[in-house]
Amino acid sequence: MTGSPFTRRVLFGGAAALAGTAFLPPMASANAPAITDKVDWARYLGALDPVWKSVPTTFYQGPFLGNGGLGAAVYQAGDKRLSFKLGDSRVRDHQGTGGTLFGTARLPIGTLTLKTTGDVSDVDLRLSLWNAEVTGTITTTKGVLKIRAYVHAKRDVLVVSASVQSGSEAVAWTFAAAVAKSPRLDFKPAPSGLKTNPAATVSGTTCTQNLAVGGQTVTQWRLRAEPDGKTKTLLATVAHTFPGKTAGTVTGQTLDAAGALSEAQLAAEHQAWWNAFYPKSFVSIPDARLEGFYWIQLYKLASATRRDRPVLGTCGPWLEPTPWPGTWWNLNVQLEYWLLNATSHPELDSLTESLDHSRDALAQNVASQYRSDSMAIARTTQEDLKSGTAAQPGGDGDPEVGNLTWALHNAWLSYRHSMDDSVLRDLVFPLLRKAINYYLHFLAKDSGGVYHLPKTFSPEYASTKDCNYDLALIHWGCGTLLAANKRLELNDPLAAKWQDVLDHLVKPPQDAANGFWIGADKQLTSSHRHYSHLLWFYPLYRLDVTTSAANRTALTKSLDRWLGFTGAQQGYTFTGSGSMYAALGNGDKARTQLTALLDKYIQPNTMYKESGPVIETPLSGAQTVHDMLVQSWGGTIRVFPAVPSAWADTCVHNFRTEGAFLISAVRKAGKTQFIRVKSLAGEPCRIAPGGLSGPYEIRSLPGGGTIPFTQNADGTLQLTLAAGTDVVITTQGTDPELSIAPTTNPAKPYWGLP
């Protein structure tokens, strides 16, 4: 709204009194500067670094390194020497027999060991988050070594520099090849027909692992003396090729290129990438343990995947003993990637990229009669997304149908945080159209005109008709297709069908006493670690608990029922329920769930295990922190919607939301000081200014010109912001310092073995 400035006035009453009020700009106040970032990143992250004052002896204790493909886990592997266990998300078998679990499973590579002359007796190590490197000393019975290790951010090279500081120690390296077999074989017998891969051969500093059906993995390393005369630097790399056997050529080229640079040049390249990575967003909370955990998850995600690397598997690039040597699509993948949206890291989005370039495989995953118009994905794949034929609704066994649709919700979130319509038009819409088409083949109306779904499987619980897992995904999918069809002006001929399904889909099976059922003929009667039956509420937000008392009651009852059964609960039970409590605005409950997660499930280095490493749970714990601080579903940006009472001082900076807005906000002594909003795409902006007292004033940044807005009946503020517009919302008559700084300074490290 535009008009003449008017004299500033004090407005009384709550949201109802202000409902629908349009606010003309008051008289211009002093010029508002831009937001000042006072974060000393190296010092801030350094205070949160994991440290090791005793020797790590397992994967779950030690430092981990990676560049999205090549990974290394650092721990003592039984011989009183410190080892670097190599892994690579691109190394797998190609036989096919037994599928993801066996014939196409991820394969272990081997271990490089720092072969000290003495036994390792002590360490003093630090994993620098800022520089993504391990530094410190290793004490042995023969002396002390100083080391520095990292997996180069831009080159597939492990770099370890070591020098003798005292005693009679020496620097040498050995490599032990792993047996190239599926880790699943340590848990289950081999399927009939599974071939045994030949033994690896080591020649000098090259290990060659040929595969029974073609292709190979080559590990190569070189040790060079540095000009200072006492430092030796290991350069190691891994390459995998299929069907050809050219991996040795690749490793040689990689090491030649890295070897042409000095250690200082390699480190500078590596650090430049990581030092540019973190400052894209900032979150600080007055809980040092959780704050350190949060930033380690961002480090972990960037170590585990990049846009041009394979979609994340359950272990990331660190393959340890596990029954799950692949990628799981009924929860794991989805939870792994949420963290990247608010933090502005599309360069890590290998999920959306994989969906894009694997369209043919997604079509081949359904029975031949549906391939012309449908797509699906079964429970497990490797990076090619070939899952084998997905079971059909109503068919034999436990037909798990919704996994692709849920994965496309992640792609849709990536779109919503960028508002790049080409992503909606070229990727999300065409793939989602075919995922929903698969459901449309099986949905049927009853005599009353209500659509029902035959038996499908609610992940990790049971098969049932009108399964809530699938109904929620169908509802979201049809609604999203209709919105995209309108936005892109596609006039799709299926729009009427989507609307009909949306209007007449059976209501979620539930009862007043216990909340949501698994499906029409299956109640929740025992412990269930998965929240597959609650996707309606989170993460799809198809049932709004902020505007509907009935929805709020249903979620509360469902949470009580779900969490009331114990025995099968796991870590992501607590991250999912924490985010649902955040949707309810209950920050104290959300914090309780995260505290339980850290206390019961998270390992010393922030990894997580269920028979083997499972990477999604800690990453989704970081998303629960996001959900407590800022939410942006349903067209409303909610600032500090579920901040625990203990978090009196909290801040976010450049927190990206749906609609492509950057949010900065500071909370001090339990009160919000200001909210900064920058529009990146010119989308409509509705914001709930949590903890900020009215009446409000909105000014442009920099310059201080006032901005008109409307306050809605629910207390939200409606703004019209062109792309590039930067504004700050404050309480009228106040002039808070527009600066971002950490809210806490940890007195001691919490992670690692401090």
How many of the other CB atoms lie within 10 Å of CB of 592?
16
390 confidence band (pLDDT: 50, 70, 90): confident
Given a contact cutoff of 8 angstroms between Cβ atoms, the answer to whether 647 and 287 are in contact is yes
Given a contact cutoff of 8 angstroms between Cβ atoms, the answer to whether 719 and 698 are in contact is yes
- The full length of the chain comes to 754
Structure tokens at 481: 């297709």
Closest CA to 196 of 185, 212, 182: 212
Cα separation of 696 and 706, whole Å?
11
Residue 602, CA distances (Å) to 49, 317, 594 in order: 16, 19, 10
Given a contact cutoff of 8 angstroms between Cβ atoms, the answer to whether 216 and 228 are in contact is no
Task: Give yes or no for residue 487 having a pLDDT over 60.
Answer: yes
If you average pLDDT over every residue of the chain, what do you get? 94
Q: What is the DSSP string of 103-139?
A: TT-B---EEEEE--SS-EEEEEEEEETTTTEEEEEEE
Task: Give yes or no for residue 8 having a pLDDT over 50.
Answer: no
Predicted confidence at residue 720, as pLDDT, reads: 96
The crossing angle, in degrees rounded to 10, of helices 587-600 and 571-583 is: 170
How many of the other CB atoms lie within 10 Å of CB of 599?
10
Given a contact cutoff of 8 angstroms between Cβ atoms, the answer to whether 736 and 692 are in contact is no
The separation between CA 669 and the C-alpha centre of its own chain, rounded to angstroms, equals 31
Q: Longest C-alpha distance within the chain, in Å?
A: 86
Predicted confidence at residue 33, as pLDDT, reads: 56
Mean pLDDT across 344-356: 98
Per-residue pLDDT reduced to its tens digit, 104-159: 999 999 999 999 999 999 999 999 999 999 999 999 999 999 999 999 999 999 99
5 confidence band (pLDDT: 50, 70, 90): very low
Label residue 324 exposed, middle or buried (CB < 10 Å: 0-12, 13-18, 19+): buried
Name the residue type at position 648: A
Predicted confidence at residue 34, as pLDDT, reads: 83
88 confidence band (pLDDT: 50, 70, 90): very high
DSSP bridge partners of 410: none
The separation between CA 29 and the C-alpha centre of its own chain, rounded to angstroms, equals 42
